[in-house]
Amino acid sequence: MKKKYLILLISIVIGMLIFGAVSCSKRLNPFLPDNVNSSGGNSHENNSGNGIVPPINPPINFPNVEEDEPEWFLPPEEQIKPFMEQTIIFRSEVENNNPNKPKKIYRIPGITVSEKNTIIAVADYRKDSYEDVGFSGSKAIDIVVRRSTDGGINWGTEITIPPIASDNKTAHGDSLFFSCANGDLVVLCAAGGGYAREIGGQSKIMISRSTDDGLNWSDWELAKGNINDFGQGLLKDYDRGFVASGTGARLANGTLMGAMLVNKGTKNNTAAAVIVSTDNGHSWTVRSIAKRKLGTQDEPKVVTQLNDGRILLSVRSGNWRATVKNRVWFRSVADIGSSWEEITPNGNFYDGACNAEGILFTSTKEGYSRNRLIHLALDSNSDRRNLTAFISYNEGESWKKLRVLNSGRAGYSALARLKDGTIVSLAEEQGGQGLPETSKELYNIVFRRFNLRWLTDNLPESDKDFYTAPDKTLIRRW
């Protein structure tokens, strides 16, 4: 009798484990909707996620910050005091202080934090030209990398992702940077004819990977998947595109997500092509198209996955000649970014018709006391100036201005978060940099590391905010 009870008990336990594993797989991989059939197809006609591969295995665990915590992490008692450090890590030069004679030009910052807590920055090195990949007058552009293993205090020498460009037709630029769940680092970039295609050739999205924390990089190769299939499938109405530069998003289950600006010709037929990878960046799928019914749009950026599983897109306002340069926003309506609605948040801000970036800072889904999104943008309706930080406590429904990081001329910016709750940024800045004031895209690329208390330091006392660690007993999964 005892043996029968033992066998019954073992059977119950095994059954519970199997049920839990099946249930958990759904929560850990929101790219497997309930209506996926046995062959992997999806019955939604408007769901453009065909080709999404199975979940990453093993599932991604939340990092335990208490283990192997670097000495330079900001301790909890310091989070209640303003903290900010900054340094120039890519310095541009012109001859004889003359902006018409570029000598050494850096542009297009991207920044991420590796699984080993290394801060890694990338930028375009455009040699003695201001021009982007694919534009006439461009040079042999390379993407260069610098690393810091001590929180941004010291930086290693520049590393060029190979092969080194020999002319403007072998150039690589406009990088979108990802830190993968398996520890790899991945950079997507524009090549070939780029977006402009003024030098001939087709738009190409290339990829390079590092498997050793950013010390060495694979040669550029054409990105696998369908993100280069202009004129076909979801890209049938578009003949060109490039991934919007900066820092790419990584969702809770390890899925990488970014977006491309696509167009047909150079008219105002622009749209955002949302791209995903569920295999740590080895292959990429065009998930869907987000396009305004009225008005123009430019470079799109994935901010994050919201608590209900939807995706938030922050999009450059479009034509720089536009009368009103307000940020454009999309939110997915179903199936993790398969279709989109345009939204207008309260407190929407200007972006100077320039690329900008937002990130998830804290989520109640991850055990934090509040939802917080942080966004940098050029808060200007005239030209590129006033690099400003904003915060949302309600997942992008409304935004509050925090502080101006640089009131002078500035440009593209990128953001990432360290595991200690501090934030790192990388931004193109001309004002206060000792550079000649000019309308040309002449910038130093400035690194900052700061905490939430510093960002909110100029607010009334009741609105000042600071980071506290999450309650891990309250963690829920998407």
- If you search the block for the tokens 């491309």, which residue do you land on? 260
Q: What is the DSSP letter of 319?
A: -
* Distance from C-alpha of 424 to C-alpha of 74, rounded to nearest angstrom: 13
| pTM: predicted TM-score of the whole model, two decimal places | 0.86
* Selection from 214, 296, 210, 207 nearest residue 243 by Cα: 207
* Distance from C-alpha of 331 to C-alpha of 117, rounded to nearest angstrom: 31
DSSP states of 184-221: -EEEEEEEETTTT-TTSS-EEEEEEEESSTTSS-PPPE
* Selection from 68, 161, 158, 152 nearest residue 118 by Cα: 152
* Distance from C-alpha of 462 to C-alpha of 349, rounded to nearest angstrom: 23
The pLDDT assigned to 195 comes to 87
The values of phi and psi at residue 474, to 5°, are -100, 5
- If you search the block for the tokens 């065909």, which residue do you land on? 50
Taking residue 98's Cβ as centre, other Cβ atoms within 10 Å add up to 11
The pLDDT assigned to 6 comes to 47
* Distance from C-alpha of 45 to C-alpha of 282, rounded to nearest angstrom: 27
Strand 246-247 versus strand 173-179 pairing type: parallel
pLDDT in tens, the chain (478 residues): 544 444 444 454 444 444 444 333 322 333 333 333 333 333 333 333 333 333 444 444 444 545 578 999 999 999 999 999 999 999 999 999 999 999 999 999 999 999 999 999 999 999 999 999 989 889 999 999 999 999 999 999 999 999 999 999 999 999 999 999 999 999 999 999 888 888 889 999 999 999 999 999 999 999 999 999 999 999 999 999 999 999 999 998 999 999 999 999 877 789 999 999 999 999 999 999 999 998 889 999 999 999 999 999 999 987 777 778 899 999 998 667 788 999 999 999 999 999 999 999 999 999 999 999 999 999 999 889 999 999 999 999 999 999 999 999 999 999 999 999 999 999 999 999 999 999 999 999 999 999 999 999 999 999 999 999 998 777 665 5
* Selection from 385, 156, 355, 360 nearest residue 250 by Cα: 360
- If you search the block for the tokens 């375009």, which residue do you land on? 124
Separation of first and last alpha carbons in the chain:
44
259 within 8 A of 250, measured Cβ to Cβ? no
The pLDDT assigned to 41 comes to 33
The pLDDT assigned to 188 comes to 98
Greatest C-alpha distance within the chain: 95
Q: In sequence order, which ranges of 33-149 are alpha helices (DSSP H)?
A: 76-79
* Distance from C-alpha of 33 to C-alpha of 69, rounded to nearest angstrom: 37
Residues forming a β-bridge with 444:
429
59 within 8 A of 24, measured Cβ to Cβ? yes
Residues forming a β-bridge with 385:
409
The pLDDT assigned to 211 comes to 98
In this structure, what token pair is assigned to residue 412?
A: 């593209």
Residues 6+ apart with CB under 8 A from 379: 349, 350, 351, 352, 386, 388, 401, 404
Per DSSP (E only), the strands in 255-371 are 256-263, 271-277, 285-290, 300-305, 311-315, 328-334, 339-343, 357-362
